[in-house]
Chains A and B, each alone.
Chain A
Amino acid sequence: MPQIPTDHLEAASTLAVVISSKDPLLFLSDDLRIIAASTSFCRAFEIDPATVSGKRLGELGNGEWAMPKLQSLLTATATGSASVESYEIDLKRPDQKTRQLVVHAQTLDDGDVDHIRLLLAITDVTDMRAAARLKDDLIRDKAILLQEVQHRVANSLQIIASVLMQSARRVQSEEARGHLQDARHRIMSIAALQRQLSASPGGSIELRTYFTQLCQSLGASMIAEPERLSIQVTVDDSIVDAEVSISLGLVLTELVINALKHAFPDDRIGTIAIDYRSSGEDWTLSIADNGIGMPGGEDAPKAGLGTGIVEALVKNLNGVITLTDANPGTVVTISRRETSDVQADLSSAA
């Protein structure tokens, strides 16, 4: 145990507590002489424990603790005019990297008012700060990388859309041109989702914005006379997974393309109304047009690729498609009912 060079004797237990402190700790007199230093302090700051006792704080080691700022703060603490809580200082030593320290000083409150003594706790936060910086750097790098990937995806989709458009211009057959243009609309539908995903955290999609953008994009490329045909979008506050939203988006794309192509022949004026609402796991998507209605019987159109895509996706979403004659026009409703599924299962089991 180091000798105490003052006329005042400290309790052995106080000294033992200071010396065995897990975190670097100094026990100082009011004139900033070291009464005791914790073993952890000596080890962390490479100071010989045998030399500390009785020294002034500024004389420790090679004098690196002679920081005027620290001394004035400690003096102020000793006189009770200030307190030092989580004060940051840099410890500079020759041939060593600067360490960032957080210091905390207080007077020892043991009832002995004639002898003011200070406890100075020191935490070396250099490594912690470096780790936090590294983490920030990684997060920033990840964001940049993600942005780069999104640029590439958008560019790739643009290449595909450009190729399809160039092909559509070159083919002679009207039918082939139609198919190429449909393919491009499907690409644009995925692109609208991609755009939305890149702007939303966590891979979930706010359907209202997505459907609105999607219908704007479809309208922009398919509606030559906006005063004749329009698309209205009504969506509640639903937020869905990217996986589900891509299916819903493609279904919507097919049905809107279909309505725009077939419901309004001979310059007929009309509106396509999209409505989506959900409650818990249940949801309903409806695409209603006020066009000529679906021809039935022998005039019924042959199921094309669009129908195949819609059926497959709706099945995958556990949904049911209903076609209703709206007089005028057609309403296609796709709904998913969690509860009715359960009831159906029960009734079939009974």
Chain B
Amino acid sequence: MKNGRSVVLVVEDSPIIRMGAVELVLSAGYEALDACDADEAIRILELRDDIDLVFTDVQMPGTMDGIKLSHYIRDRWPPVKLIVASGAAILEESILPGGSRFFSKPYDELTITTAIAHLLASETLHTRSI
């Protein structure tokens, strides 16, 4: 959270898709950050403690793909919510960390913003119940 707004980190190697995803996050009323691969995403996560959700691609160059990144994040920053998008038509949600959502590309914007809203809402409820 930053100034009362949830912060979403977009991880995507294609610049145009990244731009589109950042706009999608902004237009839904969230704060947006972006990284072009897993390594940059981890650097950003290490620098800031206000990231609520990571929206990542699967196929990316670098040391980790989006699936490995999502497990790494769940391990190291357990409260961070995860949305994974891939060009693969079918991807078992079971290979992703529990509670994360998968969408195949091309994704629909409303579907993604709805998923972000749900995941962030469940976080708020969770925090309240503690």
Interface, chain A (partner B; CB < 8 A): 147, 150-155, 157-163, 165-166, 169, 187-188, 191, 194-196, 198-199, 217, 220-221
Using Cβ atoms and an 8 Å threshold, which residues of chain A touch B108?
A: 188, 217, 220-221
A194 and B107 CA atoms in complex are apart in Å by 13
Contact A162 B87 (CB under 8 A): no
Q: Pick from B17, B20, B59, B89: contact of A198, CB below 8 A.
A: B89
Q: Pick from A147, A191, A196, A220: contact of B106, CB below 8 A.
A: A191
Q: How far is the CB of A221 from chain B (nearest CB, A)?
A: 5
Given contacts A162-B21, A163-B20, contact A155 B87 (CB under 8 A): yes
A314 and B109 CA atoms in complex are apart in Å by 30
Q: How far is the CB of B12 from chain A (nearest CB, A)?
A: 9
Nearest A residue (CB) for B18: A162
B12-36 contacts to A, CB under 8 A, are 14, 16-17, 19-21, 23-24, 27
Number of interface residues of B (CB under 8 A): 24
Sample of 10 A–B contacts (CB below 8 Å)? A150-B89, A151-B87, A154-B87, A157-B106, A162-B17, A165-B20, A169-B23, A194-B89, A199-B90, A220-B108
Interface of A is mostly: helix
Contact B24 A165 (CB under 8 A): yes
Using Cβ atoms and an 8 Å threshold, which residues of chain B touch A188?
A: 106, 108
Contact A158 B88 (CB under 8 A): no
Q: Pick from B24, B87, B106, B109: contact of A150, CB below 8 A.
A: B87
- What sequence of 0s and 1s flags, for each residue 53-68 of chain B, a beta carbon within 8 Å of any chain A beta carbon? 0000001000000000
A151 and B24 CA atoms in complex are apart in Å by 22
Q: How far is the CB of A248 from chain B (nearest CB, A)?
A: 19
Nearest B residue (CB) for A223: B110
Please give 16 more A-B residue pairs, beta carbons under 8 A apart, in addition to A155-B105, A159-B14: A151-B59, A151-B86, A151-B87, A152-B87, A153-B87, A154-B86, A154-B104, A155-B59, A158-B14, A162-B19, A165-B24, A169-B23, A187-B106, A188-B106, A217-B108, A221-B110
Asked if B111 CB lies within 8 Å of chain A CBs, one says yes
Using Cβ atoms and an 8 Å threshold, which residues of chain B touch A169?
A: 23, 27
For the complex of A and B, list the 3 residue pairs with the smallest distance between their C-beta atoms, beginning with the closest.
A162-B20, A154-B87, A151-B87
Using Cβ atoms and an 8 Å threshold, which residues of chain B touch A157?
A: 105-106
Using Cβ atoms and an 8 Å threshold, which residues of chain B touch A160?
A: 106
Using Cβ atoms and an 8 Å threshold, which residues of chain B touch A191?
A: 105-106
Q: Pick from A150, A166, A194: contact of B20, CB below 8 A.
A: A166
Using Cβ atoms and an 8 Å threshold, which residues of chain A touch B89?
A: 150, 154, 194-196, 198-199
A162 and B23 CA atoms in complex are apart in Å by 9
Nearest B residue (CB) for A147: B88
A157 and B104 CA atoms in complex are apart in Å by 11
Using Cβ atoms and an 8 Å threshold, which residues of chain A touch B86?
A: 151, 154
Contact B17 A159 (CB under 8 A): yes
Nearest B residue (CB) for A153: B87
A166 and B23 CA atoms in complex are apart in Å by 7
A196 and B104 CA atoms in complex are apart in Å by 11
Using Cβ atoms and an 8 Å threshold, which residues of chain B touch A161?
A: 20, 106
Contact A154 B105 (CB under 8 A): yes
Nearest A residue (CB) for B21: A162
A187 and B21 CA atoms in complex are apart in Å by 17
Q: How far is the CB of B68 from chain A (nearest CB, A)?
A: 17
B87-102 contacts to A, CB under 8 A, are 87-90
